Amino acid sequence: MIPFIIIFLLILFLIYLQIPPQKKVCTKCETIASPKLITKGSLAIEIILWLCFIVPGLIYTLWRLTSGQYRACPSCGSPDIVPLDSPVGQRITQKAIMLNDDENHEVES
C-alpha cells in the first residue's frame, strides 16, 4: 500500500512542478494571460477512491492524467488559446492596443 501512495504523491508533485507556460491569447474572450491547466474529472472523487480502494484510485488518477488535461484560458476556461506571435494572436493584441489608446485619448479630452 505504501508504494502506491508514494507513486500517487510523486505524480501529484510532478504535475505541480511544471514550468508555467508563456502568455497566450484567448480567441473567445481575448484575454492575454498564461493558460491554466485543466484536468477532467473530480479531485474529490479521486481522493475518495484512493482512501477507500487503491486499485480504483490508481486507475482513476491515471485516466485523469492521461486523457483529461489541457491548457485553457484562466478567464473563460476556453481551450481556444493561441500564441502571442501567431497571426491571430498578433491581430488580437493589436486590437487591444488600439482600444487602450482610444480609451486613453478619451480620458485626456
This prediction's pTM? 0.56
Q: What is the mean pLDDT of residues 17-42?
A: 82
Q: State the Cα–Cα distance between residues 71 and 90, nearest whole angstrom.
A: 20
**C-alpha cell, 84:** 502571442
Q: pLDDT digit string (tens) for 62-90?
A: 888 787 678 899 989 889 999 988 999 88
Q: What residue spans define the domains of the chain?
A: 25-108
**pLDDT value, residue 7:** 81
pLDDT at 66: 80
pLDDT band with cut points at 50, 70 and 90 for residue 51: confident
In whole angstroms, what is the distance from residue 8 CA to residue 84 CA? 35
Say if residues 15 and 38 touch (Cβ distance below 8 Å). Answer: no
Residue 101 has pLDDT above 60, yes or no: yes
Say what the pLDDT of residue 21 is: 66
Lowest mean pLDDT among 16-30, 44-58, 84-98: 16-30
Which residue, chain included where needed, has cell 485516466?
A: 63
